[in-house]
Structure 1
Amino acid sequence: MFLGIAFLGVGLWAWSEKGVLSNISSITDLGGFDPVWLFLVVGGVMFILGFAGCIGALRENTFLLKFFSVFLGIIFFLELTAGVLAFVFKDWIKDQLNLFINSNIRAYRDDIDLQNLIDFTQEYWQCCGAFGPNDWDLNIYFNCTDANASRERCGVPFSCCTKDPAEDVINTQCGYDVRQKPELEQQATIHIKGCVPQFEKWLQDNLTIVAGVFIGIALLQIFGICLAQNLVSDIEAVRASW
């Protein structure tokens, strides 16, 4: 219940403030859908579930306990369905991730929050573009066309550059003109792997942790359903003996 309140608080703050999350719909490019609503919906569902479970157990209210177990069961089923569909349509998801990254590459300079998000992603996964540095041709400031008068022409953002541990200050111009060089020379300056394959590699390397988290969540949900059903059975048994 407290976690639900936290999600609601974050969603309401993001909705009201003009800060990092206020324009998050422009970051994700989801056809006008603002992901702040996701925080509000998730927070609301978690609060309702927590409230029903706590009050149902404290007041021995079988209706609330049944509501809690059924609602939790529906959520568990939806999560299981989503996991199966994600495995079956993994190629489609990969294509959508590619489209998502490329669409945001086009708008890299249009929003500072979007710019920071892409830079963080490329630095964290040590990648550049969706499938490689040449994806930055999609951006009007970085493409290699003759009509492009930008100083960043045929370059990449600084977040694509390999880090020198001896440098204390980030060189924001390290990606200038780098894509005019042969690929072997590019490797000495920037990351040439795309973010989609790097994300896949991260999932494979951390498969045990990711699977453990999902299994742990599933077990907690099943445990909650079993406890609620057992409590309902005990309450009904006691009432039947009156």
Structure 2
Amino acid sequence: MAVEGGMKCVKYLLFFFNLIFWICGIALIGLGIYVQIYLNQTLTISSASASGTPIVLIVVGVVIFFISFFGCCGAAKENYCMVTTFAVLLGLIFLVEIAAAIAGYVFRNQVQDVFRDALNDSVSKYNTSQKAKDELDSIQQTFSCCGANSSSDWNNYPPFKGSGTVPDTCCKVIVTGCGKNSTNINKTGCVQAIDDSIKKYVGIIAGVALGIAFFEILGIVFACCLMKGIRSGYEVM
């Protein structure tokens, strides 16, 4: 027996919100891939803790993508079992997202430590590894920074040790030999510069996450209402 009246409206609303969930799933997958590529381009990550967040985003996005299937089919067919499955799975995803947000906040300092260790390693290998040199030069140009913690880091490693000079990529205006001019050098370390850059996007990511959470709560509410309507229809029959 098909649902009627207000429940029919709920049915179409649930179908519409599942379309939103489907889009949100794709958005999370895209965001996770972007963050992972961003981290890999920034520096070589040797610890799983730094790439944990993008992996969680991708996994949650894929799960939401498939969960929306149950919601759409359940709403269209008025299938009590599928709508129930959708509501339960969506509730679990909501709890996982809350846990991931808490974990991200708790371990945020560890991620910064990973950046610091990787950058210190690159600085120490700058004169012996072409890969480390290319990566660090790219980072220093991209983030307008110098060294891991500050420009003074270079005073500890050859070929700059004791010379008071730094790589030309540390310069505000990059020209050959500019690393010898202390007035043209970025003083901020790359750990701080990268951290500041990431913080610029925290508000956007938090806004997207809150928006998705809001739609998930609505989806659960509408699913429960539709479940009640479908069950009432069965009882009438």
Q: Which amino acid aligns with 2:131?
A: D
**1:182-201 correspondence to structure 2 within 5 Å:** 186=182, 188-201=183-196
Q: Which amino acid aligns with 1:214?
A: A
Match of 1:60 in 2: 78
Supply the distance in 2 between the matched residues of 1:9 and 1:85 (Cα, whole angstroms): 21
Matched, 1:29 2:64: no
Supply the distance in 2 between the matched residues of 1:199 and 1:218 (Cα, whole angstroms): 28
Equivalent residues of 2:154, 2:161 under 8 A apart: no
Matched, 1:156 2:167: yes
1:129-158 alpha-carbon deviations (Å, 9 max, x no partner)? 43223456798xx65359xxxxxx953362
CA shift for structure 1 position 8:
7.5
Match of 1:219 in 2: 214
Change in Cα spacing, 1:196 to 1:240, as seen in structure 2 (3 Å) is farther
Change in Cα spacing, 1:27 to 1:198, as seen in structure 2 (3 Å) is closer
**1:1-242 correspondence to structure 2 within 5 Å:** 1=22, 4=25, 27-30=44-47, 38=55, 41=59, 44-103=62-121, 106=125, 109-110=130-131, 115=135, 119=138, 122-135=140-153, 144=160, 155-156=166-167, 158=169, 160-163=170-173, 171=174, 173=176, 176=179, 178=180, 186=182, 188-202=183-197, 208-242=203-237
- If the length of structure 2 is used for normalisation, what is the TM-score? 0.60
Match of 2:6 in 1: none
CA shift for structure 1 position 231:
2.1
Change in Cα spacing, 1:199 to 1:219, as seen in structure 2 (3 Å) is farther
1:185-222 alpha-carbon deviations (Å, 9 max, x no partner)? 53x32321123333444566666545433322322222
Equivalent residues of 1:133, 1:156 under 8 A apart: no
Q: Which has the higher helix share?
A: 2
Of the two structures, which has the highest relative contact order with CA contacts closer than 8 Å and spacing of 6 or more?
2
Supply the distance in 2 between the matched residues of 1:5 and 1:204 (Cα, whole angstroms): 23
CA shift for structure 1 position 5:
6.3
Supply the distance in 2 between the matched residues of 1:223 and 1:103 (Cα, whole angstroms): 48
Supply the distance in 1 between the matched residues of 2:98 and 2:172 (Cα, whole angstroms): 39
Supply the distance in 1 between the matched residues of 2:154 and 2:200 (Cα, whole angstroms): 27
Supply the distance in 1 between the matched residues of 2:51 and 2:191 (Cα, whole angstroms): 24
In the alignment, structure 1 segments of 5+ residues that lack a partner are 12-19, 147-152, 164-170, 179-184
Equivalent residues of 2:171, 2:178 under 8 A apart: yes
In the alignment, structure 2 segments of 5+ residues that lack a partner are 1-21
Q: Which has the larger radius of gyration?
A: 2
Supply the distance in 2 between the matched residues of 1:154 and 1:48 (Cα, whole angstroms): 55
Task: Say what the alpha-carbon RMSD is for the aligned residues.
Answer: 4.6
Equivalent residues of 2:146, 2:189 under 8 A apart: yes
- If the length of structure 1 is used for normalisation, what is the TM-score? 0.59
Equivalent residues of 1:143, 1:154 under 8 A apart: no
Change in Cα spacing, 1:78 to 1:9, as seen in structure 2 (3 Å) is closer
